[in-house]
Chain A
Amino acid sequence: MSQAFEQVAPPVTATRSGGWLRPALVVVLAALLVLVPQLVKQGDVLNLCFLVLLYISLGQSWNILAGFAGQTSLGHAAFFGIGALTTRTLWTNGGPFIPALFLGALAATVFALIIGAPTFRLRGAYFAIGTLGMAEALRITISQTSPLVSTLPIDQIAGYDLAARYYLALALALATVGVAALLLRSRLSLGMLAVREDEEAAQATGVNPLKHKLIAFTISSFFAGLAGGVFAFYHVSYYPEAAFSPHWTFDAVLISFVGGLGTIGGPVIGAIFYVLVRDRLAVTLVDIHQIIFGILFIIVVLVFPGGLVEAWERLRKAGRFSRRGR
């Protein structure tokens, strides 16, 4: 019996228990999130919150392609990078930011559509290494064509507002999670899940695999591009190549898997966990969080495909049982 990829991980649809509780919680949560910059004055905590939100978008956007549609892409960094590069270039050359952000995401999506059809001919592991090769090729190209560090103009540095960055990341995280949730409730998700489980069988029942893969790919790359644009907005100076680094892909993969691939909550929990662990451990031991996450990741793939979301569900059920037993 295999693990992560033959398990029918059902999408987390709204459980009918506690009908009013969940939306109420969401509203309270959203209100708190919006108020964070007012409540939190220390820059480094706000920074941490920003990173959590950015990583939520990063993970969720990958989850849409890999978790819902079952296509393990290892080229996610390419879309993040294209979004970042386009946004940064347009913005630092005088253009208004928001249009630059969306043009960046659009550029990423166009790239996805161009390479999508040919690369989707590859299956499974070949798709993974093909997308990895593609992203690396792009990174190498960018490192040669744009080797110089990109720095914001002086007036932007002077007027740097972390709260604005935070709100942008919050909006993006809410949008990404929201779109993922909507997608899961739509008919499209049924097709995608069918393709994920068994592409041939899906085709036999009239589902068009390529169409569903491309749709997932488009949405995924669009939000990855937006995330890249947010990254470009956030950094005062950075090397353009950095946005194409494979570690963006790997972080997205880790977050989604450890959190719970194929669920809405997975990338959210995974991102929070990842950023917090990294932050806490960076004080003592640089990069040891990677070892921890590497181990967790292997455990999830081999033994516990539901990730943290599943662990949470199991704990809840166990709790309910013991209460009932009394």
Chain B
Amino acid sequence: MSIETVAQNLVFGLFVGSMYGVAAVGLSLVFGVLKVLNVAHGELLMIGGYVTFWLFAVLRIDPFLSMLVTVPALFLLGVVLDRIIFRHVTRLTGEAKIKNSLLVSFGLSLILQNVVIQLFRADERSVQTSYSGTGLTAFGIVLPYTRLLILVIALVAILSLHTFLQRTYTGKAIRATAEDWEAAALAGISIQSVYLLTFGLGAALAGIAGTLVSVSYSITPSIGLAWTLRALVVIVLAGTGRILGAFPVGLFLGVAEALSATFIGPAYRELVGLVIFLFVLLLRPQGLFGRT
């Protein structure tokens, strides 16, 4: 096994990890602010992928360009879902809230998955652009343009979110709500509005990840669960207190999977994350990278 092969796999692990990271940050944002576990997050990602596919297949719009439509569309979907469904869950508190949100979003995931099946059937779809196969080569490593764009978009999305949360009044209001919603309400922040906005953002991030996934893999309506699990794995590894911190952990997971695929074999790639996840859940609940 040459060092180039290892490096190649590592780089691809990074590309994949950036998608894990974006998906995880979306879920983590919702969990951190609303204290709600949305296991339909993967389905939102899947819908993002299908919107991209549809815009590409029917209107011939480049998948990266169509994000200008996909992302707002998913944001809107998130807002609607918060308004009609999750609003009833956020009224609860503590453990009951998390547990009920898990159940409700489970039901939602079934609905979303099957609505997509009704619209698109269960066949595999993929987005192959004219430049899909091309790329650069550097130091003997192949860097496809699509993958590079994915990494760039992921980074831009995360950095934008970071800037939004750190520099704008609304972003700070969101962070404040995550820390202590009562104190935030006492400062004049409308908690319902924060929840609505945050859920929309979470869905938008899922949409971004979905677009990236549709370009990298073929998609089917059933990919939701696997991606929700991956996002959960990343969140648990990062420690549930971190929102943006989930992104580097996503990269870590991508690289860890790639390394295991390189040295143990590709078959058990998905298993690596799950095993680490179970280990962390049981033995180190604050996450691999969380503060105690």
Contact = CB atoms under 8 A, between A and B. Distances in A.
Interface of A: 2-6, 72, 118-119, 121-126, 128-130, 132-134, 136-137, 140-141, 144, 246, 250, 253-254, 257, 285-288, 290-291, 293-295, 297-298, 301-302
B268 A140 contact: yes
A112 B89 CA distance: 31
Contact of B114 (A119, A126, A129, A290): A290
B282 A118 contact: yes
Given A3-B100, A134-B278, A285-B118, 12 more contacts: A72-B102, A119-B282, A129-B236, A136-B229, A144-B267, A250-B106, A288-B114, A291-B110, A291-B115, A293-B110, A294-B108, A295-B111
Contacts of B233: 133
Contacts of A290: 110-111, 113-114
Contacts of A291: 110-111, 114-115, 118
B111 A124 contact: no
B153 to A, nearest CB: 28
Contacts of B88: 302
A134 B233 CA distance: 12
A301 B104 contact: yes
B100 A4 contact: yes
Contacts of B95: 123-125
A137 B111 contact: no
A72 B103 contact: yes
B278 A133 contact: yes
Contacts, number: 118
Contact of A133 (B100, B101, B109, B277): B277
B271 interface: yes
Contact of B117 (A118, A124, A287, A295): A287
Contacts of B282: 118-119, 121-122, 130
Contacts of B89: 302
Interface residues of B, number: 44
Given A5-B96, A119-B282, A124-B98, A253 B106 contact: yes
A294 B110 contact: yes
A196 to B, nearest CB: 12
Contacts of B85: 298, 302
B102 A298 contact: no
Max count, chain A CB within 10 A of own CB: residue among B101, B106, B109: B106
A301 B99 CA distance: 10
Most buried by B among A6, A246, A287: A287
A222 to B, nearest CB: 23
Given A133-B278, A140-B274, A287 B114 contact: yes
Given A140-B268, A144-B267, A290-B110, A128 B102 contact: yes
A123 B271 CA distance: 23
Most chain A C-beta atoms within 10 Å of own C-beta, residue among B85, B99, B268 = B99
Contacts of A137: 271, 274-275, 278
A124 B271 contact: no
B232 interface: yes
Interface in B248-292: 267-268, 270-271, 274-275, 277-278, 281-282, 285
A2 B95 CA distance: 10
Contacts of B281: 122, 126, 129-130, 133
A9 to B, nearest CB: 14
B125 interface: no
B220 to A, nearest CB: 13
A167 B182 CA distance: 59
A25 B93 CA distance: 44
A26 B232 CA distance: 46
Contacts of B114: 287-288, 290-291, 294
Nearest to B265: A144
A134 to B, nearest CB: 6
A298 B278 contact: no
30 contacts: A4-B103, A6-B96, A72-B103, A121-B282, A124-B99, A125-B98, A125-B101, A126-B285, A129-B232, A130-B281, A132-B229, A133-B233, A134-B278, A136-B229, A136-B274, A137-B271, A137-B278, A140-B268, A140-B270, A140-B274, A250-B110, A285-B118, A288-B114, A291-B111, A291-B114, A291-B118, A293-B110, A295-B107, A297-B110, A298-B107
B229 A144 contact: no
Nearest to B115: A291
Contacts of B37: 125, 129
B225 interface: yes
Contacts of A301: 100, 103-104, 107
Contacts of A122: 281-282
A3 B97 CA distance: 10
A290 B111 CA distance: 7
Contacts of B110: 250, 254, 290-291, 293-294, 297
A147 to B, nearest CB: 9
Contact of B104 (A128, A246, A250, A298): A298
Given A128-B102, A129-B232, A294 B107 contact: yes
9 tightest Cβ-Cβ pairs between the two chains A and B: A294-B110, A294-B111, A297-B107, A2-B96, A298-B107, A137-B274, A290-B114, A125-B98, A2-B92
Contacts of A130: 278, 281-282
